[in-house]
């Protein structure tokens, strides 16, 4: 542990320096790079950091350079590619970046191994790589290479192992790969390859592993695959391959793993499948369009450990012979059309599986097995950890007590069947149980206290049954519980106070029961809660203000209860909230303006309450429709929400309109009427006398009279605003009635002008 001793660099005659697995830190001492006799520099599995020194190129007779599994960064110095004596370059598991030079192999005629996997190198794979004619292992996996696989790779006729997986490489697999006559492993998983698999690959008789999973390859697997007599692993999963699976695959006596899952293969399995693959350990065919029956001969594949046939169209009986697979660990038949024997009332095949003492995973879900779940389930391997029998049309008997014998079970799912009776008390013996799914049955009675013995239980899902009684107080002792779903039962009484003491629970769904009484302020204890659904119950009282403590809450549904009082302002503190449903209660008051701060809120419903006041317009409220607010007492707001306009807005708009009329419209109308009166008078006078009137005729001075200010004051009621006809930039016009009954219009100039009035 610690830094290197610089004195090592003075050992000029040293040929071999092996310091791997020593916890060294710091950087490579420059003195190391002066050891001119060095042939092997092995520094793997330390914590060395920094750049690879450019002076590494000084080691001109170096044959092995191994710095794998350190913390090196930066680009690979070009000087390394000039060390013509190098046979092994091992740079894997660092943080190297940059790209490979075009001249990569120009000066490396002896290179046999190039390990660069698990770095951050990008760019193209240089075509000059084909000049490394002695190369036997090329590992570029888990980097950021892009572009195509260079055709020049076909020149590496000594190559035995080619690893390219998990890069950004695209295009087709070049047919020149077929020239790699000594190739044993071809691993190009997780790329962006398309097109067909070149037939030339299936002529490489030395191939032991072909792994091309997670690409977009299409076409069929040619029958020539049967020529690969050394093939042990065939991994073509997650592609777009189609056609029937060549029967010649099952002639390969060396094959250990066949993984063709998630493609479009169709057809049936050969009836003698088990006789020809004695070494087969894994057969994964799920997610295709395969049909027919499971051949009973499969039991002759005595080394089979994983059999995965789910999501196909297999039919018929599940063969008893599966019980002969003594090493079987994983059996998944989910989502097919398997049936049980018509002459039996039970699943007789289940008894035969008791011979599979290493069985850890059994999935029979989504098959029309019907019948009754047999008591022989208790005879299954004590190693069984996962048992799924969902949606199997299991008849309405109770869950067998013998299920308590599955001492190692971690997940037990019997959901969506026709089980009746009560939850067996023997379930308390399942001490390792983490997931219990009994939802969608007809289970009755109360939730047994024995369920609280499951201290490791993480998920309890028993919704959609006919359970009754109260929620057990001891549930709060299940400190590992993260998901609790008791919805759609007949549970009653109040929620026990202990219930609100869960420390790690993330999801609670108690909806559609008959739970009553109030929700206490102790709800604040559920600090990490994400979803809370208490809807469709008989809960009452006020929504506790302490609910603001649930900072992680994303869903809150309290609808269809009897909650009353105001919506707490504190709900605006639920900063993660995405869905809030308070509909169908007796809530009153206003919608708190604090809710506009809920920037993640996507669903909001307060309909069918007694709310009033203005609907907020900021934040997420711009995205909600009328359905969120319908059937309330007196909500008001924007027209698109189909509620009345708010009164304050109406009054303000009316005042604004009146001011416009008084300020602009009335003076204009009065002026136009005065002009029209003068014109009419002029016309009449002209008609009578045939001549224009004089000034005295138009404006008889003798009729003018001076009116005292006091009388004007009384005539306009003290220039009251109610008598205001209009106003302009120079003054205002009032109407008034003089003491002799004459109606007058009085203009009052701005008081700032001397002598106004």
* Lowest mean pLDDT, pick from 525-539, 566-580, 615-629, 742-756: 742-756
pLDDT at 35: 85
Residue 599 is assigned to a structural domain of this protein = yes
pLDDT digits (tens, 9 = 90+) for 192-222: 999 999 999 999 999 999 999 999 999 999 9
CB of 505 within 8 A of CB of 481?
yes
pLDDT digits (tens, 9 = 90+) for 282-318: 999 999 999 999 999 999 999 999 999 999 999 999 9
Higher model confidence: residue 689 or residue 385? Answer: 385
pLDDT at 707: 67
Residue 24 is assigned to a structural domain of this protein = no
If DSSP codes are grouped into helix, strand and coil, which group holds residue 604?
strand
pLDDT digits (tens, 9 = 90+) for 632-666: 999 999 999 999 999 864 444 444 444 444 455 55
The answer for residues whose C-beta is within 8 angstroms of residue 141's C-beta and 6 or more apart is 117, 118, 163, 164, 165, 166, 167, 187
Is 90 exceeded by the pLDDT of residue 487?
A: yes
545 and 634, same domain (yes or no)? yes
Residue 359 is assigned to a structural domain of this protein = no
Cα angle at 512 between 519 and 400, to 5 degrees?
115
pLDDT digits (tens, 9 = 90+) for 5-20: 666 656 668 889 999 9
* Lowest mean pLDDT, pick from 58-72, 345-359, 572-586, 726-740: 726-740
Is 50 exceeded by the pLDDT of residue 756?
A: no
Residue 452 is assigned to a structural domain of this protein = no
Average confidence (pLDDT) over 224-242 = 97
Last residue of a domain, one of 598, 623, 645: 645
Is 70 exceeded by the pLDDT of residue 465?
A: yes
| Residue 702 pLDDT level (bands cut at 50, 70, 90) | very low
pLDDT at 337: 97
Distance CA 607, CA 30 (A): 76
Task: Give the sheet arrangement for strand 743-749, strand by strand.
Answer: 724-727, 731-737, 743-749
Does the predicted model carry a pTM greater than 0.75?
Answer: yes
Higher model confidence: residue 239 or residue 673? Answer: 239
Last residue of a domain, one of 602, 619, 645: 645
630 and 722, same domain (yes or no)? no
Residue 717 is assigned to a structural domain of this protein = yes
Is 80 exceeded by the pLDDT of residue 270?
A: yes
Which residues constitute the domain of residue 743? 710-756
Nearest to 201 by CA among 234, 239, 240: 234
Average confidence (pLDDT) over 54-80 = 95
pLDDT digits (tens, 9 = 90+) for 583-616: 999 999 999 999 999 999 999 999 999 999 999 9
| Residue 517 pLDDT level (bands cut at 50, 70, 90) | very high
Please report, for the domain that includes residue 605, its CATH number.
Answer: 3.80.10.10
Asked whether residue 425 is marked as a ligand-binding residue, the answer is: no
Residue 728 is assigned to a structural domain of this protein = yes
Q: What percent of the chain has pLDDT over 70?
A: 86
636 and 714, same domain (yes or no)? no
pLDDT digits (tens, 9 = 90+) for 143-164: 999 999 999 999 999 999 999 9
Q: How many domains is the chain built from?
A: 2
pLDDT at 153: 97
Distance CA 116, CA 462 (A): 51
- Mean pLDDT, the chain, rounded, equals 89
Is 70 exceeded by the pLDDT of residue 140?
A: yes
The answer for residues whose C-beta is within 8 angstroms of residue 153's C-beta and 6 or more apart is 125, 129, 130, 159, 162, 174, 176, 177, 180
pLDDT at 673: 67
Last residue of a domain, one of 645, 672, 695: 645
638 and 722, same domain (yes or no)? no
Distance CA 346, CA 452 (A): 31
């Amino acid at each position: 542990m610690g830094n290197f001793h610089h004195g090592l660099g003075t050992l000029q005659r040293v040929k071999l320096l092996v310091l791997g697995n020593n916890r060294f830190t710091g950087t490579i001492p420059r003195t190391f790079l002066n050891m001119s006799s060095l042939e092997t520099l092995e520094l793997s599995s330390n914590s060395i950091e920094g750049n690879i020194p450019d002076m590494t190129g000084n080691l001109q007779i170096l044959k092995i350079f191994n710095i794998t599994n350190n913390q090196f960064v930066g680009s690979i110095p070009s000087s390394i590619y000039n060390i013509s004596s190098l046979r092994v370059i091992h740079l894997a598991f660092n943080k190297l970046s940059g790209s490979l030079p075009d001249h990569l192999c120009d000066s490396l005629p002896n290179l046999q191994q190039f390990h660069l996997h698990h770095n951050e190198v990008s760019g193209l794979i240089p075509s000059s790589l084909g000049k490394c004619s002695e190369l036997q292992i090329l590992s570029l996996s888990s980097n950021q290479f892009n572009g195509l696989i260079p055709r020049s790779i076909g020149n590496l006729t000594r190559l035995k192992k080619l690893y390219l997986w998990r890069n950004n490489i695209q295009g087709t697999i070049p047919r020149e790969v077929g020239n790699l006559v000594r190739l044993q492993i071809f691993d190009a998983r997780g790329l962006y390859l398309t097109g067909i698999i070149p037939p030339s690959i299936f002529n490489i008789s030395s191939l032991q592993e072909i792994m091309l999973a997670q690409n977009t390859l299409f076409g069929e697997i040619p029958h020539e695959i049967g020529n690969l007599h050394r093939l042990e692993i065939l991994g073509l999963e997650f592609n777009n391959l189609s056609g029937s699976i060549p029967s010649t695959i099952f002639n390969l006596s060396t094959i250990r793993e066949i993984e063709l899952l998630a493609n479009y293969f169709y057809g049936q399995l050969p009836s003698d499948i088990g006789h020809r693959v004695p070494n087969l350990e894994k057969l994964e065919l799920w997610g295709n369009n395969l049909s027919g029956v499971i051949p009973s001969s499969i039991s002759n594949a005595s080394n089979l450990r994983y059999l995965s046939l789910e999501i196909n169209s297999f039919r018929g009986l599940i063969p008893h012979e599966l019980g002969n697979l003594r090493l079987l660990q994983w059996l998944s038949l989910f989502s097919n059309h398997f049936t049980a024997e018509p002459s039996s009332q039970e699943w007789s095949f289940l008894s035969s599986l008791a011979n599979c003492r290493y069985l850890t995973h059994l999935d029979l879900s989504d098959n029309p097995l019907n019948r009754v779940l047999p008591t022989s389930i208790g005879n299954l391997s004590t190693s069984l950890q996962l048992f799924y029998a969902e949606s199997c049309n299991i008849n309405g008997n109770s869950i067998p007590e013998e299920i308590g014998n599955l001492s190692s079970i971690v997940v037990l799912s019997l959901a969506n069947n026709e089980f009746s009776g009560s939850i067996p008390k023997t379930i308390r013996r399942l001490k390792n149980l983490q997931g219990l799914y009994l939802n969608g049955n007809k289970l009755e009675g109360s939730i047994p206290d024995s369920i609280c013995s499951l201290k490791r239980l993480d998920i309890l899902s028993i919704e959609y049954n006919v359970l009754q009684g109260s929620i057990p107080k001891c549930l709060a002792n299940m400190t590992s519980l993260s998901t609790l779903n008791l919805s759609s039962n007949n549970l009653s009484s109040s929620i026990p106070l202990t219930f609100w003491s869960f420390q790690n629970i993330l999801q609670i769904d108690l909806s559609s029961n008959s739970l009553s009484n109030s929700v206490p302020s102790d709800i604040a204890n559920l600090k990490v809660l994400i979803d809370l659904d208490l809807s469709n119950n008989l809960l009452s009282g006020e929504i506790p203000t302490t609910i603001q403590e649930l900072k992680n809450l994303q869903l809150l549904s309290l609808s269809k209860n009897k909650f009353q009082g105001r919506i707490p302002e504190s709900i605006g503190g639920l900063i993660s909230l995405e869905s809030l449903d308070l509909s169908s209660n007796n809530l009153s008051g206003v919608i708190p303006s604090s809710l506009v701060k809920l920037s993640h809120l996507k669903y909001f419903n307060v309909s069918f309450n007694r709310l009033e006041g203005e609907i907020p317009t900021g934040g997420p409220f711009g995205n909600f429709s009328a359905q969120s607010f319908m059937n309330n007492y007196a909500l008001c707001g924007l027209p698109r929400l189909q509620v009345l306009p708010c009164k304050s807005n109406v009054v303000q708009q009316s005042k604004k309109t009146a001011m416009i009329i008084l300020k602009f419209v009335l003076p204009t109308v009065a002026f136009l009427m005065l002009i029209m009166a003068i014109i009419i008078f002029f016309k009449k006078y002209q008609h009578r006398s045939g001549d224009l009137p004089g000034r005295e005729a138009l404006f008889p001075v003798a009729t003018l009279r001076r009116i005292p200010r006091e009388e004007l004051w009384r005539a306009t009621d003290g220039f009251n605003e109610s008598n205001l006809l209009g106003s302009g930039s120079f003054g205002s016009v009032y109407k008034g009635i003089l003491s002799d009954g004459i109606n007058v219009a009085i203009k009052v100039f701005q008081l700032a002008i001397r002598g106004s009035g």
